[in-house]
Structure 1
């Protein structure tokens, strides 16, 4: 019997990373997607099954725990579980999934059985979601986000087998950009169009209170902003080197670096070594409203990642009417064209500096209101939630309704 499209569906979201007491701004786009579905009238719950790698079992930071809270109408479980035996991956994954299933049983007891499980990334919430879906005969959708496949970090034979098995089993396999779809299908030797592309969305916050930004010329400081988790693959040093090139050419530029992470101190020391403390400012970790404020205070956004499956920070900037400069990192090819800014083909400081200079020289030719309109038409909450809803109903229409 087909599921009527107006059914108030109950969706359980299982993200592979999410906010927690230690990481309150992690995985914001998963929460934003859950809230977009909630606005459409869906019942939404979250189980975040935080996976502790076997090699880190005895760290004091990795004690097992189970937290529950109601997050503005979304019941949220955060389980941190210790799984395993380092050399027995499948056994570790079974132990992990069993622990998460116990939490799922508690969820069902209190909030009812979901109509569908939607996991984000195979490693590792997707593994638990897959096992729970099979055990309880619940339709299952997986969205992949991880760059790790294409950066060479997922190369264990068992892990590759597990990923293939989950993508092939899922009632729907989603991915966030066309370039990532082609790359991952090739990497895992999956059939063409295994994945359907549904992009990430922009939080409505970024469309609010548009503040136009003009540039009066060389006497004015041109302000670039970047924001990310400070990891090596985000390649922040490339942006710093490009800023130095522009300064050495006599351009009046400034860079603000938002975010925190393992590279924080190294990058600060590098800026100090170059003597650029007055030209490059670090903000530390930023909340969502603070990110918008920094974008509003800047002229343009810059991103230098080695690989991006999508690039949410770029569409956030477009939503504020700011052009972007980014490396040719995959995902941004879906939405960064000459009207939105510059994609830099070579991952080199000179090329990045050239792209940044192009945006400076042509700044007033970017129509900021058109950038906002383009972003709203393609990435607003209702549009992306509607694409998700269509996927959910297509999946459920092929299944018996389980009560």
Structure 2
């Protein structure tokens, strides 16, 4: 089968959607399907990419790390015609999501839509953010889902919420999987040596895109408080994004800059080593639809301390593979660590 994946974000962009598209594309190929990914250009992408068609885009839109696509050149439509998709899998309801809808209609093939994100929680990236804007994107996502032939929800919570909002298209709950072997054999000692972290240090770790919607201000404040009462503890934050500077400033003000480690974006073996170096994984986002980094941490054998929120409590079972705590309760979070 020829599967066309259409997404507003793709590698090397850091985020759950880009990773999901990459993992599912690879899984489809391993099962003998042909996969073509249609996505915008991003800084740092490879010059030569097989089975990826890039759309010209405005990069770092409105101070974010997102790319916003420009009009699609006609030559790309010729490439899609040559590919002859049997199905179109859309990962967003807007921008290239519109293109996915037109391509599916033009080729008379089914459209599948994965509702990765609760978009109303990200409208601060758009000019003119307002309650009306939030309502608009909710209606946009719901309407788009009802134009698809099938909808994929990454967690049960998302599926229930979509039905509550009026989605009548059939919904399947399919989380993005984790390849256990990719995370179960990391070398934590090597990672600590690489970044000059003591072997007896208690490492609080975090992995993800460093952005405001990840509730990193709260997380940084809570971890800094934990560090103040645990002299042997350090904080390792793996990832990149617009909130990196604010995290650095927070720890500088608290007088513990020397116990904050920001190795940047890591992938592959380096990322597995980073997880293996952690004693606990800290996570405070309440905008997740599945929180793939939670599953990655668990695959590495690292317990999780997280806020109790949709998309998180689908993965973390309180008292079994981690601790769930009330959102925005810093004292509880510190005690959980």
Q: Which residue of 2 aligns with 1:366?
A: none
Report deviation, 1:251: 6.0
Q: Give 2:25's match in structure 1, choosing from 28, 34, 49.
A: 34
Q: 1:128 to 1:308 in 2, by over 3 A?
A: same
- Unmatched 5+ stretches in structure 1: 1-8, 52-60, 62-66, 83-92, 214-218, 357-403
Q: Give 2:297's match in structure 1, choosing from 308, 317, 322.
A: 317
- Partner SS, residue 127 of structure 1: helix
Q: Which residue of 2 aligns with 1:285?
A: 265
Report deviation, 1:297: 0.9
Q: Which residue of 2 aligns with 1:127?
A: 98
Query: What is the TM-score when the length of structure 2 is the normalising length?
Result: 0.80
Q: Hey, what's the Cα distance between the residues in 1 that align with 2:221 and 2:72?
A: 47
Per-residue Cα deviation, 1:171-230 (whole angstroms, up to 9, x for no partner): 1111101112223443x4334x853210011145524526699xxxxx943211101111
* RMSD (Å) for aligned C-alpha atoms: 3.1
Report deviation, 1:69: 4.1
Per-residue Cα deviation, 1:302-324 (whole angstroms, up to 9, x for no partner): 11113111101111111111111
Q: Give 2:219's match in structure 1, choosing from 234, 239, 245.
A: 239
Q: Which residue of 1 aligns with 2:193?
A: none
- Unmatched 5+ stretches in structure 2: 59-67, 190-198
The structure that has the greater radius of gyration is 1
Q: Which residue of 1 aligns with 2:175?
A: 199
Report deviation, 1:140: 0.9
Q: 1:300 to 1:138 in 2, by over 3 A?
A: same
Q: Which residue of 2 aligns with 1:10?
A: 2
Q: Hey, what's the Cα distance between the residues in 2 that align with 1:327 and 1:25?
A: 19
Report deviation, 1:162: 4.0
| Higher relative contact order, chain-length normalized (CA < 8 Å, sep 6+) | 1
Contact 2:159–2:171, Cα closer than 8 Å, also in 1: yes
Report deviation, 1:105: 2.7
Matching of residue 275 in structure 1 with residue 252 in structure 2: no
Q: Which residue of 2 aligns with 1:171?
A: 149
Q: Which residue of 2 aligns with 1:335?
A: 315
Report deviation, 1:70: 4.0
Q: Hey, what's the Cα distance between the residues in 1 that align with 2:79 and 2:142?
A: 29
Contact 2:284–2:327, Cα closer than 8 Å, also in 1: no
Q: Hey, what's the Cα distance between the residues in 1 that align with 2:230 and 2:330?
A: 16
Q: 1:265 to 1:159 in 2, by over 3 A?
A: closer
Query: What is the TM-score when the length of structure 1 is the normalising length?
Result: 0.68
Report deviation, 1:237: 2.5
Q: Give 1:107's match in structure 2, choosing from 70, 80, 93.
A: 80
Matching of residue 45 in structure 1 with residue 36 in structure 2: yes
